[in-house]
Structure 1
């Protein structure tokens, strides 16, 4: 789709760096407007605006809202909002580092770098558990339908809403389990990626079967593994024409509708959760008209 940021529909890059920024206190809106207009572009990255930033500009984006805080037995799904999210994409870690440094300096008058997560492709886009990630991802026109706003008018068409979470896996615990248990947690056989009809109702695949919702809850996943010297997991990234499908999936995972929690929580938990609006592109630049920055 010609009006969307290209990085949304592109294949997941070999390497990436996720940046989140907060606003400096008492910063004036004119400074924010100038920096956003002059310093942000969509080349080799995806840019998302949090509710904090939209409100600071005195605007409203229909459909953008706070990330929900949800709890279940032994776990919490937290909300960690930020003003600005940038997903840098590439294949050279040093080059991503330099781009991050440059953006941080250019935006420093109004924005404070809150968090940086380095991520990477693992094998053929697998999660670090070894299971394929995003098997049921929509493709082609279905990806556009699920992931991008359409029919809402100029400034909105081609935009997308994105949910971002950082999950930490206890890989030692997961790998200590018998293979049958691991397959039942995911709901697929690792050997051939086939869905298990006999998997328990808590299996992740069964909890998040997008076609089983009313309306159907299809999202466009662009998740990537991450790791540091102490921990590892998944940066879950889900683009949508709205945030409704993601919230339906997350609510089902936490057992709010039937009391059955997703088995993923046996070995993994999220430590962050944020929503952003990713503006469309017009004439080769971000279309910021709905934010009064055109």
Structure 2
């Protein structure tokens, strides 16, 4: 049975670090990056064993360009493709550069920092840092908008069923990852009455109670992303985290799934207006500035490199 990477299935931590890297296209860089990939699980294990209180875990994943460069001799993830940019009027979800994603999670920011330094030292000059974002738990696991985040996440054994390519399929134990960094327009959001914010989200703000189907407005975020196909819910496992400082802040959205198309369909519902002109009105208060798609192979895959 395939073993997933350690950062996929655990419940939320207090801190996260996201490293988005651009792979250099020369023989030495590719060899260094491939060797690093093979040693990544043991690198994480060593630091996690040294600081067990940190609950450290991490995931290493690759974009379509990097996979073709690094793993020509391996199966290609069937649904791995560059992030599909989407636009409808002023609403935009851009695709941006990114070959490798390192997603580090723990309950200690200093341990995330240590692993980040070790990763960059191992990679040397084979990959250039495109973006580094530090996420943190905000209040009672809320987004900076004030609403509890991740309430629709699968629980217990269903997390693996949603996030991992099932046994019997190529690259079993792997996971498709999509991530976006959003910047929130908090002055505009905070100028709205709470009851209007609740209509935009589809939940009560203070008590975190989901509205009934009849109560949800057709523009509510939860309604737009709650999709079904052949009577079955299309789910994703979210590990999103708030990030930022006093001047710029928002959400680093990241999802794991056994299929890339679940996220693609949700994003379409958020960005594009339907026949009645309805779209996700949360998009009126936040803007995606990055967009990347990756595949995280199983731990077994990495250790065979």
Q: Which residue of 1 aligns with 2:285?
A: 267
| Matching residue of 2:299 | 281
SS at match of 1:247: helix
Q: 2:108 and 2:210 mapped to 1: Cα distance?
A: 35
With the length of structure 2 as denominator, give the TM-score of the two structures.
0.86
Distance in 1, matches of 2:234 and 2:41, equals 31
Spell out the pairing of 1:78-157 with structure 2 (5 A cutoff): 78-153=94-169, 156-157=171-172
Query: Aligned partners of 1:103 and 1:86: how far apart in 2?
Result: 9
> Does residue 241 of the first structure (1) align with residue 258 of the second (2)?
yes
Cα shift at 1:83? 1.3
Return the alpha-carbon distance in structure 1 between the equivalents of residues 130 and 41 of structure 2.
17
Figure out how many residues of one structure are paired with residues of the other and give that number: 286
Question: Residues 16 and 207 (structure 1 numbering): CA distance in 2 closer, same or farther, change over 3 Å?
Answer: same
Q: For structure 1, which runs of at least 5 residues remain unmatched after alignment?
A: none
Q: 2:177 aligns with which of 139, 162, 172?
A: 162
Report whether the alignment pairs 1:56 with 2:69. yes
Assess, with a 3 A threshold, how the Cα gap between structure 1 residues 251 and 25 changes in structure 2: closer, same or farther.
same
Deviation, 1:16, is 1.1
How many Å separate the matches in 2 of 1:214 and 1:111? 43
1:36-67, Cα deviation, whole Å (9 max, x unpaired): 22456554211111112101122522221111
Which position in structure 2 is the counterpart of 1:198?
215
Superposition map of 1:35-54 within 5 A: 35-39=36-40, 41=42, 42-43=44-45, 44-54=57-67
TM-score, scaled relative to structure 1: 0.89
Shifted more, 49-58 versus 91-100: the winner is 91-100
Seen in structure 2, the aligned counterparts of structure 1 residues 137 and 17 have a Cα distance that, compared at 3 Å, is same
> Contact between 1:211 and 1:217, CA under 8 Å: does it hold in 2?
yes
Residues 186, 205 of structure 1: 8 Å contact kept: yes
Q: Which residue of 2 aligns with 1:187?
A: 202
CA RMSD of aligned residues (A): 2.2
